[in-house]
Structure 1
């Protein structure tokens, strides 16, 4: 059986060529993430073109995930060699400047930082690796005492977990970037630092209006869980989103690091039960940025996410700027394969929760049949994606093939664990014949295979046919 858990890889300088992208796709990359915290529109347009060329060359579909920056606070431009700061020294940060000058303050991209922070609050840099405490604020200059030192380079992130940031989580830059993404037909959009459902609904309205004008398929929305407020309002935010990314880097700074593993497990399970895709992200194979082999702890991290039933695992710096982007994908795929082969990731019948609707009732029936070895594959017409979603809640050990009306919808399905897609017309009279022809051609089934087909009757009801 093909790998169920999907792989997202961030694309950057190390993986921007068609050659490397093709290797990554063949190694198992399903979704290419473009981080709009970096690069300009020209660079992103080139990356999108290269991704699509590589997808065609590899003969495998790849979705594009546009990750919007949000109100991410970053350092400005530092010298090429970077800046070292030591424990105990006082370091200065200044808003309103872009470049660092020797002996001066470190530039900060967020203009209101000096207004939003207070003395005594913590200021972290580089995903929490460097910790400082604010000692004074004079005008636009923030002074802070270094508690844990380290090396800084341009555009490293800044986190202020004790402060309330006054700017919206959907910035003007995000709006402009989103319109660019929609014009280039991205498949998914990730919203950063979401804290309320309102911002998700606002972005969805923008997407719908723009895509109606463009006559294109609207991308789906992933919310990134990165702040304490998002954790507290998780169910409300999940209710209006299409998917979730557990962004452990910023989340591990906003919260105590030891809280993150439990929150990850809880949120992955909630997403599974509600049928919404969830991504586990950040530092999954971090050491492979510089080394050709992952650490044992990293391998365990990926495997545990799979056993917890995440829909996708994600590579960040490993594939964007690392030395081994395609090897990182290969490693992640190998770990996923091994974890999925174990019975530890199976869901027992007693874990199934009956929500009382027809899709769930059919899904439960199919789950029992899969467990009893009575069917080898589930195929659904585009009319009944909701049923397929309900089936996928139980993570069956057989593939689920969805017929989709077009390539854009088919690519969106690439983020769902265990779901594979094909473009087929939604004609009840010919669906089974067309689907069976596809399944045999692509070697999904062989002689003797039993397939459960979900199709619509002339009256619009769900029909389950097994043959």
Structure 2
């Protein structure tokens, strides 16, 4: 999967124990080490863990699935006596305020929206419903009430336990669902023991856990409440995931595309990664299948709208050929990226920030503009902290190659040689370099144009 384009391995705390995830993390890191040795360089595969979040769930003890058929009546109850006695006609819901929350004519979605119920009446501790869309009911399915604020904690005690595990295992990315306001993300940062570095502006954070490692907080937009507070959530997070399946339950389905475009546009404007999840290439769950035309166009248009990545869920967890799904997604993304009018994107992004700009932003804009004018093959950023590379990436230039070590000449030479070995740079190509004018300057303040030669090699 790494060979075909996987950049992040995602694990979900909703499935599996800590022991299972610990073993999986160990296997992933062993596989990365072996693959890095095979290709002769370190492969940058991140590991992300997805917390359970504040879901309301249905419970049942049966191993087999329950079938809810269209037109049948079903009761949702908060009576704990039915917790282990769930049937097609009586289902226990783990939410004490269910009776106060619902009223006749409300719509209820079960199992990620696969089953739809219509509330008919409230009788005692039961909510009588009619099944409008039939489906299978499995253990601990989620239940959602569209456009109705649900009073559940955004970060549960189970989530805190999982986050401690994340810190101990030195995970790179924490995916958090159910974030409805920026204050919740601030509380999460406090739990992680985060602090803001004085070297970083408002939009860049370093998260320091008990072991001192950095953890990126990526918030999921999965409800109308999170969509209403999108700017605050984006500003406080390191990245955003658009959970389209969950979002389509809370907003009219015909407006989902508009929400996706709006979120992507704002994330691009402020320089935050934005990722799309849910129903990406589900036609490829079966081995040998081909993606539908609508899936291909959906992925390509998302890339052209500014989406930075995609999360494959059922395609890789349940799919018969996950490698084929990743390979097909990678090839579609490459074709779409080649079709992006990069010059227009750069002009729109560079015009967004109002002067006076911080020096690094002015240098980044100048570097991208120079690369367009001289048709440069690459921009190499010599950076100790990585911030300069992040700022450059905000303006979406051509591929950036950067690394850091003590000697700046070694860094520059490695970047050129790596680009040549991988076919990104050819002899005679122009290369734009950003660096500090002198060692120990503390910030990037120097732009240079060089040309690749046949004598460029990695110093021994």
- How far is 1:432 from its partner? 2.8
- Determine the structure 2 residue equivalent to 1:147: 132
Q: Given the superposition, is the C-alpha separation of residues 134 and 360 from structure 1 closer, same or farther in structure 2, using an over 3 Å criterion?
A: same
Residue 53 (1) aligns with residue 50 (2): no
d(CA) in 1 for partners of 2:414, 2:342: 33
Separation in 2 of the partners of 1:99 and 1:333? 45
State the secondary structure of the residue aligned to 1:69: coil
1:103 and 1:307 map into 2 onto residues whose CA distance is 45
Unaligned regions of 5+ residues in structure 1, if any? 1-23, 404-423
Q: What is the rounded CA distance, in whole Å, between the counterparts of 2:250 and 2:302 in structure 1?
A: 21
The equivalences for 1:252-263 within 5 A come to 252-263=248-259
Return the alpha-carbon distance in structure 2 between the equivalents of residues 345 and 320 of structure 1.
34
Identify the match of residue 241 of structure 2 among 240, 245, 254. Answer: 245
Cα displacement (A) at 1:73 = 2.1
In the alignment, structure 1 residue 156 sits paired with structure 2 residue 129: no
Q: 1:417-432 maps to which residues of 2 (within 5 A)?
A: 424-428=404-408, 431-432=411-412
By how many angstroms is 1:271 displaced?
0.6
The equivalent position to 1:460 in structure 2, one of 436, 442, 453, is: 442
**Does the 8 Å CA contact 1:132/1:147 hold for their aligned counterparts?**
yes
SS at match of 2:306: coil
**Post-superposition offset of 1:54:** 1.9
Question: Separation in 2 of the partners of 1:98 and 1:26?
Answer: 46
Match of 2:14 in 1: 37
Q: Deviations over 1:247-285 (max 9, x none)?
A: 101100011111110110111111111110000111011
Partner of 1:190: 175
| Alpha-carbon separation, structure 2, partners of 1:212 and 1:153 | 39
Residue 26 (str. 1) matches residue 3 (str. 2): yes
Q: Please tell me whether the aligned partners of residues 118 and 163 of structure 1 are also in contact (alpha carbons under 8 angstroms).
A: no
- Distance between the aligned counterparts of 2:346 and 2:170, measured in 1? 40
8 Å contact from structure 1 (residues 382, 426) kept in 2: no
Match of 1:85 among 46, 60, 68: 68
Q: Distance in 1 between matches of 2:6 and 2:399?
A: 18
Q: Distance in 1 between matches of 2:95 and 2:20?
A: 23
- What secondary structure sits across from 2:447 in the alignment? strand
Q: Distance in 1 between matches of 2:315 and 2:149?
A: 31
Q: Which residue of 2 aligns with 1:16?
A: none
For residues 85-136 of structure 1, give each alpha carbon's deviation from its aligned partner in whole angstroms, at most 9, with x where no partner exists: 1222211233445545445522434455445434432210132232112234
The superposition leaves residues 357-409 of structure 1 with CA deviations (integer Å, 9 ceiling, x where unpaired) of 2233222222222323442111223346443333323322x211232xxxxxx
* Cα contact 2:176–2:219 (8 A) shared by 1: yes
- For the structure 1 residues 238 and 126, does the alpha-carbon distance in structure 2 shift closer, same or farther, using more than 3 Å as the test? same
Q: How many residues align?
A: 423
Aligned-pair distance for 1:205? 1.5
Task: Write the deviation string for residues 12-33 of structure 1: whole angstroms up to 9, x where unpaired.
Answer: xxxxxxxxxxxx1111110111
Report SS of the residue matched to 1:42. helix
SS at match of 2:158: helix
Within the candidate set 48, 56, 62, 1:65 is matched to: 48
Residues 152-187 of structure 1: per-residue CA shift (max 9 Å, x gap):
223332111143211111111111111111111110
Quote the residue 2:455 is aligned against: none
Relative to the length of structure 1, the TM-score reads 0.83
Say which structure, 1 or 2, has more relative contact order (CA 8 Å, 6+ apart). Answer: 1
Q: Using a 3 Å threshold, how does the CA distance of structure 1 residues 348 and 121 change in structure 2: closer, same or farther?
A: closer
Structure 1 counterpart of 2:401? 401
Instruction: Please say if residues 309 and 345 of structure 1, whose CA atoms lie closer than 8 Å, have aligned partners that are also in contact.
Output: no
Distance change (3 Å), C-alpha of 1:328 and 1:216: same
Instruction: Write the distance in 2 (CA, Å) between the matches of 1:298 and 1:100.
Output: 41
SS at match of 1:28: coil
User: In the superposition, relative to structure 1, how do residues 280 and 437 fare at CA in structure 2: closer, same or farther (>3 Å)?
Assistant: same
Corresponding residue of 2:383: 382
Aligned counterparts of 1:190 and 1:305: Cα–Cα separation in 2: 21
**Does the residue aligned with 1:401 lie in a helix, a strand or coil?**
strand
Q: Is the 8 A contact 2:68 2:88 kept in 1?
A: no
Q: d(CA) in 2 for partners of 1:27 and 1:116?
A: 47
